[in-house]
Structure formats: structure tokens, C-alpha cells
Structure 1
Amino acid sequence: MIDRINDIAWQAHQGSVAAIIQLLNEKLAKSGVRTRAIFSDGVLQLLCEAANIEQLEQSPLVDQIQEILESIAPRNIRRVNINSRIVREQQLLWLKEISSDRENQLLWSHEITLTQPNIIKQLINDFTQAQAELGKPSFAKTPVSRSLVLVNKEKHKNKNKTKILAAVSLCSLLLLGWVIYAKLGNKIKNLIQPEASKSLTTQSTKENQIQLPLITPNNSVSESPDDPFGTAVRIANQASASGKVATSSTQWLEIAAKWQRASDLMSTVPKNHNRYQEAKIRTQLYKKYSEAAQKEAHKSKS
């Protein structure tokens, strides 16, 4: 019998969060990214940590994680929320920590939906594994057992045939269930799909836009010279809230100016500040957002 206790890939495929994290950490080791995860409310909350911001660049890291998870195809896991931040000391309640203050705790957060494997291929794989396991004797081949095999060879053949027939019957039932589901499920899908498709399209559109929101004249920010970090965060929050509706070149230019202002304020955080290292990272991050907003402004002109 195949030893499933030490088969990490199989455990990850069955939905074991610990096994999934082990595989992710092995595959991301070269990039210097470490992961932790919790399955909560139907979503796999994934935390990615690294020593510097370059290792946590959003687009390539998200693509790499999605590719790894879809190759694992974990059962009962479809939605994955990827969170990233500079590495910190071990926190047992890290999900509660980032949920209470996402803007200050994270560099970015991005939710993905895993593509589910073809149901027919999955059934074939499950059947192949079951047949392979059933076809193997479950005892070690000691001298005594080899003698027993020779004596009872025909008996074992009959038992193996019975097991294989049982596996074939089980697979047939699964296939029949899938066919019934496909026929009846289409009626349900026809009712649900329009609204779900609309929701996914809206979400995809928002995610594809750079989150470089606009500050309107009414959104004034009181800047305190005693706390440049807090002021910069407030400006960035306002920018982040307004940019989701930005469409014109003028709006994108105003966004770029706000991000630049937030970056400039972050660069003035003194070294004795308890979040000085994070301020250095945010200075560069806000600057990149400002440059991206300027690019969007040029696109809007054309």
C-alpha cells in the first residue's frame, strides 16, 4: 500500500494547509519569500514575507503562486487571498493583526480564483491511483509470505479481480453522478451565472486598474509636521479610495501629485521613529504609484 503519510503532494492535493505551505516554501525558496496560511470563511488567507520590497513585486509573485496552487489543485480551495509585507517577528495571530489595520500592515493584497481541474481527468486519476493501490499486496514479501503466495496464488488473483471490479464500479457511479450533475447543474448555472459573471467582471476591472486613486478638492488632509508618517498614510488612503473612479488625464495627474506628496512626507520620517524602516519602503512604493499614475494620464490623453 502506498504510504500517504509522507506524501506531501498528495496531502496538499487533499487540501492540507500545512502541506500546501510546505510545497509553496520549497518552490519560493530561491526568491527569498516565505509563506504562512490560514483557511478562513472559505478563503485561503496566504501571507508572503520577504526581507525587501523587490522580492515581493506583486505581478510576478501572484502569477507564480497561482501557477503552483493550480498544479497542486487542492480540493475544496478555490479562493486565495495573497497578502504581502516585509518580514516581521513571528505572530501567532497575524491574520487578526493585518485585518485590523491592512493599510499599515501590508504592502499589497490580491485575491485570486484557482482554475479547477477537468472533472473527467480528476476521476481518471483517482481511479488509476485506486487501481494501483488495490493491485498491490498489503504485506511484506518475507520468505514465509512468499511461500504463502505460491500456495494461495489463485486465491489472491480472485481477490484482486474483485477489488478491481469494485473500483471500476465506483468509478462508473462517479461518472454517472457527474453526467447527472452536468445536465441538472446547467439549469442552476443558467440562473446563477449572469449575476456571478457580472460580479467577476466588475472585480476583474477593479483589479486591473492601478490602485492610484484621486483626491478631490473636498478631501482635504490636515498635515501634522510632528507626524509625517501618519500624514503620508492618510494622503495615500484618500488617494487609494478615489482612484477607483478616475478616468480623465487631469484626474490621473492629480493622483500622481498626491502619491508624490505622500512619498515626500515618508522620506522625512526621522531615523528614531519606530517605523522608520517601513517608511523607507513606503517612500519608494508611493513614488512608483506616482509614476504609474503619470503613465495613466498619458494614456487617457490618447
Structure 2
Amino acid sequence: MILLKKSGFKAITTSPMVDRINDIAWQAHQGSVAAIIQLLNEKLTKSGVRIRAVFADGVLQLLCEAAKVEQLEQSSLVEQIQHTLESIAPRHIRRIKINSRIVREQQLLWLTEIDRDRDNQLLWSQEITLAQPNVLKQLIQDLQEAQAELGQANLPDLSPLNNKAKQKKVSKVKLRSAFALCLLLSLGWIFYSQFGEQLKNLAQLDNHNSLATANTKRKESEVLSNAVNNGVSLQSDDSFAAAVRLANQASASGKTATSATQWLELAAMWQRASDLMNAVPSNHSRYQEAKIRTQLYKKYSETAQKEADKSP
């Protein structure tokens, strides 16, 4: 806010940093976890999903909770979260681990509780990597923000000076800003030329590691599937965890399925997961949830079967 008076008083300005205290989007862009949580919850409030988060070991851990399993459908929820975070482009945050479960009582150390028994604590979890922002574009944005703050903080004195003095003072401010812009653009171009390929290689390495992890989980799922198909008995206490692991694999495979054969395999995986959930005994601590999952997985199996019928 700027107040000017023609009677010769100096300009009264309000520092833009005061406004930044209440600028949630700006705080989230700077990497504030609290601001990121607020924006994500505002985005997902209509879907009934509540999000908590903590930054640990270079990874932003998100916990998504809802009253019903249907509200935590993996592919759509992950897509919404990734789109929102990439639009925020939080500084120094690239790796995101998304965890989901049916809402429970408040836990201050929820990440510790999850790490102790992830199979029985979660519906599913997935790690994503945010797209690398354009270095030059980021430098220009930072310069614009800094220039705006500098321009407000160093607003010319509007006391009664002669016109030449006013013009000279304003010209100096413009000259300094133009010089700073040229300097930052030059530094940005040099940095991108020197390290651009290295940044791309790092991003490719992250993707390679993610694919390797997915392949490992796929092999584990195949071993489990063979055991079920061959009639190997599973302990009733383990059927819930086994069904969750198989469902997570089926959910990941559903993103790449295109042929009729792949859809048929996917339908079989969902059906096996449903059968395992149905085998959970009534005295199990999560029996009611297992009943819900049994029907949900069966529905997914039927959907995959329909996709197989439509595929050539």
C-alpha cells in the first residue's frame, strides 16, 4: 500500500514482506510443509480426503486418510497430488511418498507407526518424483520477486525535489534493476549450459531406480500368485497383508495394461486379491475392512475383464 501527498510529505509504504506472511502459495513454493498441507487439503476437501505430511530424509511423506476406501482410489488421487505439487514447485522437494489408509485416531508419530508395519497399516503407497523446473525460468521468477521487493523498499523519496533530481534518482533505480537482470540471466545460462545435462542424468537415474523397484515388487507378486495358483496354503493371519500386496501390484499394472492378455492377467490378480481378503477370519482385527476390500477388489476384477473384452 502506498500513500502519496502533494503537500511535500514523504511516501508511506508498507513492506511487501508483510503481505508474504499471509501468502500461502508463496510459502508453499518456498518449501513450507505447513503451507503445502493447507493447499493440498483445500484441493481435496470435496473428495473427503485429509492429508498430513512430514519431511524426512529428503522425502516429503504424505498420509492420505478418508472414511471410505473408494475415496482413496490410487491413480486419481496420485494424479491430483502430483499436479498440485508441480504447480506449486516447492523448493528443494522432489521426491514424494504418498501413503493412504482408512482414517484413524490422531497419531502424532504416524510415520513411525506406519514404518513398523506398512502392510497392515496402509491401503497402498506410491513414490513419485516431481518434474524438474526450468532453471532459467526459475531464475527469472526469483529475480522478479526480488525486484518487486527492492522496488517497494527503495521507492524514491517524493519530498519536494526539482524534476531533474527526481528523474535522476528514478533512472538510477532502473539502471540497477536492468544490470541485475542481465547479470542473473547470464549466470542462469552459464549454469544451465554447465549442469543441464547432469540434472537430466540425475532425473533419468531416479526414474531407473523407480523402475527397478517396481520390477522387484512385480517378481514378489508373481511368486505370491504362483503360490496361490498351486494351492499353497497361507496362514489366515497373513491373508490380509498378502491381499494388500497383490492389490498394490494390480493397481500399478493397471496403469500400463493395453492388450487383452494384460487385462485378463490384471482381472485374475484382482480376483485373487479378493479371494485372499475373503479368507480373512472374523476374529481378525481388520475383518470389517477386509469385507469392504473383498467387494472392491471383485469390482476391479470385473472392470478389468470388461476392458479385456473390448481390447483387440
In structure 2, relative to structure 1, the CA distance for the partners of 1:186 and 1:275 (3 Å cut) is: closer
Q: Report 1:266-281 matches (<5 A).
A: 266=280, 269=282, 274-281=285-292
- Unaligned residue ranges in structure 1 (runs of 5+): 140-147, 225-229
Specify the alignment match of 1:151 in structure 2.
Answer: 160
Contact 2:263/2:304 (CA < 8 Å) preserved in 1?
no
- Between the aligned residues of both structures, percent identity stands at 51
Residue identity in the other structure for 2:60: L
Specify the alignment match of 2:195 in structure 1.
Answer: 185
Alignment partner of 1:259 is 2:273: yes
Cα-Cα RMSD: 3.9
Residue identity in the other structure for 1:104: N
Specify the alignment match of 2:3 in structure 1.
Answer: none
Length-normalised TM-score, structure 2? 0.73
Q: Report 1:236-247 matches (<5 A).
A: 236=243, 239=246
In structure 2, relative to structure 1, the CA distance for the partners of 1:293 and 1:115 (3 Å cut) is: same
2:97 maps to which of 78, 81, 85: 81
1:282 maps to which of 268, 276, 293: 293
What is the distance in 2 between the residues matched to 1:137 and 1:153?
22
| Count of equivalent residues | 283
Q: Report 1:20-99 matches (<5 A).
A: 20-99=36-115
In structure 2, relative to structure 1, the CA distance for the partners of 1:30 and 1:237 (3 Å cut) is: closer
Residue identity in the other structure for 1:42: G
State the 1:181 CA deviation: 2.2
3-state DSSP of counterpart to 1:90: coil
Contact 1:259/1:289 (CA < 8 Å) preserved in 2?
no
Residue identity in the other structure for 1:261: D
Alignment partner of 1:176 is 2:190: no
- Unaligned residue ranges in structure 2 (runs of 5+): 1-14, 254-260
State the 1:24 CA deviation: 1.0
What is the distance in 2 between the residues matched to 1:61 and 1:248?
23
In structure 2, relative to structure 1, the CA distance for the partners of 1:58 and 1:251 (3 Å cut) is: closer
In structure 2, relative to structure 1, the CA distance for the partners of 1:51 and 1:216 (3 Å cut) is: same
What is the distance in 2 between the residues matched to 1:46 and 1:53?
17
In structure 2, relative to structure 1, the CA distance for the partners of 1:187 and 1:265 (3 Å cut) is: closer
Residue identity in the other structure for 1:178: G
Q: Which has the higher contact order (CA 8 A, sep 6+)?
A: 2
Length-normalised TM-score, structure 1? 0.75
